[in-house]
């Protein structure tokens, strides 16, 4: 069965009120859209030559109290540590802060009605900037070690950072409020509620969100439920329910383009049934607009935001369709979910705005998922089978058999599995018993390798760096190397040269990385004296290997000559006696 191929979701950012949405299109163009009428507010493209995968995060805010004098400001973080601001009203760059976060920017958030910008870097530093000038007002060390994800609370009081450990800090001065005692796997996504009582985390490649309850007075975390999804999440949000101190609403969008909504009870570990929101396309052409695929005639949800929370329902703003011409819909979803297995879904056709294409409206489906029965069948291990996941069943499927199904994009196809069993060899050997070979491992995606490579270099993690070097895909290697800054290039160069001095499989894996470094970053490498010394040692190593190669070649030639003589004698012997 043909696999569904999912493209990387675009980088998006709403203004706090949800009136505007900034989207990076596939060609690296930034477009700011009005979610009220669908009109295009501004368009901007960096003329300095950065491509779309050079950007890492984005924040969007409306500055000014009066509607006529206000303007939309977009802050953009890059993988090389720069922060730049774009005036969305005229599409011009306002300022650039170069190299403020070496290693890459991983978090941006506006504060103080847009007059301040909070930034977080993968090197563990956090800063506060003046949005008028781009000057750094203050900064503090959020973590001594590298971090992979961060999030600011809506009330601008708290900062959550996640690397190998999860922390909650004061957004004002960086004081540590709570630190998770245990080490975590690499966290790709973290979210925090407005009172910092609820934290969401998702590990790299995981198809779920882990909920953490935070007790500020006791200074500790407690584990909450695991919120399962069919595909990994790329954005999440958690908000408190008004007039209900013990309830929180969680919204998340998966990489496949579906939105999920949960209502949780604080301090509860009970499994919660989500409401899944997907968009039905009106035709195949419309289905192919999205960043995913046209599977089941669906259009991807590009972004989603909690617009309003009431006692009985929540309003969710959903942006869907093409990144070049998105559509925006406001969907009211009630909290009450019937666990009746016959309740499949409720279809709602929403009124579209002026920004809708001529192909007609998309149909929003509010899919209410019935609780699946536990299956007694064994299933292949997936991301949900981790020790932290607990007893989790897949969501979005109505019957128990779907719980057994492992919807893993990296799982080999049926043809690959049959080929790995060597059935033809078994038939030729007359049914000879053979051990079942293991399923071949599919190499990680480019995004995964980029994150892991930077973490390995910043933390000097030898084992993690080896995992990255075992990647053989030339495109993944080239893309990962292209995003390295100068310091990371030098670190990787010295590490690769040390690996090349050894022999075996690691030597074969390290050579493509060395070739990519020399081709893409020759000027950076030649400008550093330490790199020249390393290259000189590499040259000496190559000369030594070549000298032994000549002896081995002579030995091989001698053996070939002797083997030819022996073969001639055997042929003569058989001729005389045969």
Backbone angles phi, psi at 367, to 5 degrees: -90, 115
End-to-end CA distance of the chain: 57
Instruction: Output the pLDDT for position 328.
Output: 92
- Among 182-186, 196-200, 302-306, 535-539, the minimum mean pLDDT is found in 535-539
What pLDDT was estimated at residue 52?
44
Residue 121 or residue 398, greater confidence: 121
Q: What is the pLDDT of residues 280-290, one digit of tens each?
A: 776 544 444 54
Which domains, from first to last, does the chain contain?
Answer: 446-578 (1.25.40)
Write b or e for each residue in 161-190: b if 16 or more Cβ atoms lie within 10 A of its Cβ, otherwise e. Answer: bbbbbbbbbebeebeebbebeeebebbbbb
pLDDT at 67: 59
How far is 410 from 54, CA to CA, in rounded Å?
25
Q: For residues 97 and 551, which has the higher predicted lDDT (pLDDT)?
A: 97
What are 118's two structure tokens? 């909070």
**For 149-167, what is each residue's pLDDT tens digit?**
999 999 999 999 998 889 9
381 vs 533: CA distance, rounded Å: 47
Band (pLDDT 50/70/90 cuts) for residue 427 is: very low
How far apart (Å, rounded) are the C-alpha atoms in residues 323 and 327?
A: 9
């Amino acid at each position: 069965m043909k696999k569904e191929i999912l493209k990387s979701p675009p980088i998006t950012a709403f203004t706090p009120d949800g009136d505007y949405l900034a989207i990076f299109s596939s060609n690296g163009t930034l477009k700011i859209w009005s979610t009220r009428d669908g009109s295009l507010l501004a368009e901007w493209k960096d003329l300095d030559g950065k491509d779309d995968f050079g950007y890492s995060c984005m924040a969007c805010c409306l500055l000014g109290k009066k509607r006529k004098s206000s303007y939309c400001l977009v802050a953009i973080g890059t993988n090389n540590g720069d922060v730049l601001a774009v005036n969305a009203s005229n599409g011009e760059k306002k300022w650039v802060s170069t190299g403020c976060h070496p290693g890459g920017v991983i978090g941006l958030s506006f504060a103080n009605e847009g007059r301040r910008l909070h930034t977080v870097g993968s090197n563990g530093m956090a800063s506060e900037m003046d949005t008028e000038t781009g000057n750094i007002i203050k900064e503090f060390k959020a973590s001594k070690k590298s971090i992979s994800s961060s999030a600011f609370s809506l009330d601008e009081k708290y900062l959550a950072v996640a690397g190998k450990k999860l922390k909650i800090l004061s957004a004002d001065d960086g004081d540590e409020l709570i630190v998770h005692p245990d080490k975590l796997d690499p966290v790709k996504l973290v979210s925090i509620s407005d009172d910092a009582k609820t934290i969401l985390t998702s590990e790299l490649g995981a198809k779920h969100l882990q909920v953490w309850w935070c007790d500020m007075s006791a200074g500790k975390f407690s584990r909450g439920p695991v919120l399962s999804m069919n595909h990994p999440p790329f954005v999440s949000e958690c908000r408190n329910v008004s007039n209900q101190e013990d309830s929180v609403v969680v919204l998340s969008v998966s990489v496949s383009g579906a939105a999920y909504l949960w209502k949780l009870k604080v301090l509860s570990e009970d499994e919660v049934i989500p409401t899944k929101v997907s968009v039905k396309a009106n035709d195949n052409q419309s289905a192919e607009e999205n960043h995913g695929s046209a599977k089941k005639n669906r259009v991807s949800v590009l972004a989603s935001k909690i617009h309003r929370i009431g006692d009985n329902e929540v309003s969710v703003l959903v942006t869907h369709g093409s990144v070049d011409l998105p559509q925006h819909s406001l969907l009211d979803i009630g909290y009450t979910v019937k666990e009746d297995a016959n309740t499949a879904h409720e279809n709602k056709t929403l009124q579209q705005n002026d920004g809708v294409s001529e192909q007609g409206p998309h149909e929003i489906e509010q899919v209410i998922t019935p609780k699946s029965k536990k299956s007694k069948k064994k299933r292949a291990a997936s991301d949900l089978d981790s020790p932290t996941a607990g007893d989790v069943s897949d969501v979005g499927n109505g019957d128990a058999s779907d719980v057994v199904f492992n919807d893993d994009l990296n799982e080999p196809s049926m043809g690959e599995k049959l080929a790995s069993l060597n059935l033809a060899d078994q038939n030729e050997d007359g049914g000879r018993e053979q051990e079942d070979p293991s399923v071949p491992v599919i190499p990680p995606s480019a995004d995964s390798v980029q994150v892991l490579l930077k973490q390995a270099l910043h933390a000097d993690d030898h084992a993690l760096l080896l995992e990255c070097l075992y990647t053989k895909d030339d495109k993944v290697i080239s893309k990962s190397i292209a995003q390295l800054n100068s310091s990371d290039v030098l670190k990787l160069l010295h590490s690769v040269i040390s690996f090349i001095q050894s022999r075996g499989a690691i030597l074969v894996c390290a050579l493509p990385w060395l070739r990519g470094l020399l081709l893409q970053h020759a000027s950076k490498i030649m400008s550093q004296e330490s790199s020249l010394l390393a290259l000189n040692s590499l040259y000496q190593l190559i000369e030594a290997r070549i000298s032994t190669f000549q002896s081995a070649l002579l030995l091989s030639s001698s053996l070939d000559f002797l083997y030819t003589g022996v073969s001639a004698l055997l042929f003569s012997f058989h001729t005389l006696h045969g």
